[in-house]
């Protein structure tokens, strides 16, 4: 008689879901991206505030940002039948976000939501009250929360790291979780507008290289021709050089400066560089810092997209790369460099850069500041700056460079914002000269250009404070002795609130920032929703309606060094 092993129902469900997704993906593989499987997540024309693969700080944009007519509360629909596989509510990032797995092997993602649809909202609210936390993350079993195509699953909002009301929308592979450009699936976005070329740059890359009598990155002049093509002034160069551009794309119904879809560089008719933003993996997204001239970005906050592969570039977005996109210019020869910039709709902007192999007298020498410390990127580097020690693990940086390090009492300067760190490095301060009482209110702070401190997550152990960060800059020890402030916004002490739907409070902290908050109503924990952008705490009366006429609200807020404040208010409600 065969031996049977008892398998928990949860595991069986997940196994079934995997097999279902695997078999459907095999069937779908012959047609790379289904065109009629999904409906739009909104019932208004698709107008984009952001495109897939758009260049953002330290990452590629993993979806499209759909405008919601500058308002919150717009219904959001399931693009196909499926099952909710992940729900997250956070103060930052995507804010309130929903993940739905579909039987054809794809997962749709909906971010920055105001609230979820009724059945999902009920599920989340129970979870929040169970965990006594506004911020929650949950992975429902497959088929536990089913949705149908066209069902209202949420309402558009502005939660998390959003800078205005919109829907962040993604389509990912359910197996690899790689995001793909949602426009590949047949969604209609009006776009007959060519990408815009703003600037062109040339880069001397070898020791003997020069461009227009300079050994530094050089801006190139160009003009639009009658046929719409851009023509650069003739460039005189020798050695190994590369080119880059600053540009953006627009759709017909929006003025937003969005990212372009594909870029090609041809040299004398031969493709040297060809990349597009069809898909990428989250594991490589930080390598965006090698696609741009990060030195220029750190100084001017402007992204020059490079047409050659810089050191450390491990991006998989390239279809063709000849000689790493670098061009070897020889004296006496002529080169015709073409730049083709396209959006997803195929609208094209073309630039031509004529290059003459000509060695000239150097007028601008290489701009390189040498210091006593030289970082070898592939090796670990450790520095003692007196007040603090800095440790860079191997491969923290993409390339070797001279690092500028300074120390001053409790402050250290670790280079500047013109160099990108790919991995976290550690900064450890010696705090042995401070008493235990002083240390409780102290933290490591990063100073901005105006010397304003911001809290860096600080790990305290014995006589040391340590932080892990990827941000170069100036760090110091700061002390926060002031508790957070709490103020009622829409109600007063001993007020009757019969017709009120919610309570609103403002919470702020002057230095280290808000860490935790909690509230009770007549001694029972209640859910308060925190919106950092407006420093607002909100309680919805629909959550709990108490039968007492006299209600005692107690709100406690703690900052990042443990300073605590409590506000108590009494109000009345029938």
Q: What is the pLDDT of residues 492-509, one digit of tens each?
A: 999 999 999 999 999 999
pLDDT at 61: 97
Contact 532, 458 (CB under 8 A): no
User: Measured between alpha carbons, how far is 214 from 221 in angstroms, rounded to an integer?
Assistant: 15
Contact in structure between 164 and 91 (CB atoms under 8 Å): no
Percentage of the chain exceeding pLDDT 70: 94
How far is residue 210's CA from residue 222's CA, in Å, rounded to a whole number? 19
Residue pLDDT, tens place only, 318-375? 999 999 999 999 999 999 999 999 999 999 999 999 999 999 999 999 888 899 999 9
Rounded to an integer, what distance in angstroms lies between the CA atom of residue 88 and that of residue 348?
Answer: 39
Q: What is the pLDDT of residues 101-149, one digit of tens each?
A: 999 999 999 999 999 999 999 999 999 999 999 999 999 999 999 999 9
Tell me how far apart the alpha carbons of residues 40 and 567 are, in angstroms, rounded to a whole number: 45
Q: How far apart are CA 42 and CA 113, in angstroms?
A: 13
Low-confidence ranges of the chain (pLDDT < 50): 1-30
Residue 8 pLDDT: 46
Residue 394: predicted pLDDT: 98
Task: Return the SS3 of 48.
Answer: strand
Question: Any idea of the CA torsion for 568, 572, 573, 574, to the nearest 10 degrees?
Answer: 150
pLDDT for 31: 59
Which pLDDT score, from 0 to 100, does residue 535 have? 96
Beta-carbon count within 10 A of 444 CB: 25
Per residue in 155-183, pLDDT (tens digit) is 999 999 998 999 999 999 999 999 999 99
Contacts of 83 (CB under 8 A, 6+ apart): 17, 100, 101, 140, 142, 143, 144, 145, 146, 147
Given a contact cutoff of 8 angstroms between Cβ atoms, the answer to whether 561 and 543 are in contact is no
Residue 454's pLDDT is 95
Pairing of strands 388-392, 425-430: antiparallel
The residues, ordered by sequence, that sit 6+ positions from 263 with a Cβ below 8 Å of its Cβ are 273, 274, 275, 276, 305, 307, 339, 340, 341, 342
pLDDT score at 221: 98
- Going 152 to 155 to 161 to 163, the CA torsion angle's sign is positive
């Amino acid at each position: 008689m065969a031996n049977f092993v008892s398998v928990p129902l949860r595991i069986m469900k997940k196994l079934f879901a995997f097999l279902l997704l695997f078999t459907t993906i095999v069937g779908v593989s012959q047609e790379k991206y289904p065109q009629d499987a999904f409906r739009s997540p909104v019932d208004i024309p698709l107008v984009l505030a952001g495109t897939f693969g758009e260049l953002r700080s330290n990452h590629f944009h993993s979806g499209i940002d759909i405008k919601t007519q500058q308002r919150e509360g717009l219904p959001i629909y399931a693009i196909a039948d499926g099952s909710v596989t992940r729900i997250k509510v956070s103060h930052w990032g995507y804010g309130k976000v929903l993940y739905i797995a579909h039987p054809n092997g794809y997962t749709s993602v909906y971010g920055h939501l105001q609230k979820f649809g009724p059945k999902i909202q009920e599920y989340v609210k129970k979870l929040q009250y169970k965990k006594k936390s506004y911020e929650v993350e949950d992975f429902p079993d497959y088929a536990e929360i089913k949705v149908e195509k066209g069902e209202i699953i949420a309402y558009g909002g502005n939660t998390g790291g959003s800078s205005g009301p919109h829907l962040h929308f993604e389509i990912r592979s359910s197996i690899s979780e790689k995001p793909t450009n949602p426009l590949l699936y047949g969604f209609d976005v009006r776009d007959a507008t060519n990408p815009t070329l703003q600037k062109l740059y040339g880069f001397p890359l070898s020791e003997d290289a020069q461009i227009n009598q300079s050994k530094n990155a050089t801006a190139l002049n160009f003009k639009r021709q009658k046929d719409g093509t851009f023509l650069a002034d003739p460039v005189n160069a020798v050695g190994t050089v590369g080119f880059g551009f600053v540009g953006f794309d627009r759709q017909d119904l929006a003025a937003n400066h969005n990212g372009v879809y594909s870029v090609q560089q041809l040299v004398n008719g031969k493709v040297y560089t060809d990349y597009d933003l069809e898909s990428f993996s989250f594991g490589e997204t930080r390598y965006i810092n090698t696609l741009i001239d990060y030195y220029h970005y750190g100084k001017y906050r402007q992204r020059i997209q490079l047409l050659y592969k810089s050191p450390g570039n491990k991006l998989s977005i390239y279809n063709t790369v000849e000689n790493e996109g670098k061009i070897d210019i020889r004296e006496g020869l002529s080169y015709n460099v073409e730049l083709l910039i396209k959006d997803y709709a195929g609208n094209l902007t073309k630039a031509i850069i004529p290059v003459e192999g000509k060695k000239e007298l150097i007028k601008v020498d290489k701009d390189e500041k040498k210091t006593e410390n030289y970082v070898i990127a592939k090796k670990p580097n450790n520095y003692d700056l007196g007040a603090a020690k800095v440790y860079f693990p191997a491969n923290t940086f993409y390339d070797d460079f001279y690092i500028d390090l300074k120390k001053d009492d409790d402050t250290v300067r670790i280079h500047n914002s013109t160099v990108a760190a790919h991995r976290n490095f550690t900064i450890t301060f010696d705090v042995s000269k401070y008493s235990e009482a002083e240390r409780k209110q102290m933290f490591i702070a990063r100073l901005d250009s105006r010397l304003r401190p911001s809290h860096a997550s600080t790990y305290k152990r014995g006589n040391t404070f340590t932080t892990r960060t990827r941000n170069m800059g100036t760090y110091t020890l700061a002390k926060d002795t002031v508790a957070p402030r709490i103020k009622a916004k829409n109600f007063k002490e001993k007020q009757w609130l019969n017709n009120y739907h919610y309570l609103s409070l403002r919470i702020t902290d002057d230095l280290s920032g808000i860490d935790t908050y909690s509230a009770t109503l007549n001694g029972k924990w209640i859910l308060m929703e925190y919106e950092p952008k407006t420093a607002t705490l909100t309680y919805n009366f629909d959550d709990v309606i108490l039968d007492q006429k006299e209600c005692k609200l107690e709100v406690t807020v703690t900052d990042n060094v443990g300073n605590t404040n409590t506000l108590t208010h009494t109000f009345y409600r029938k």
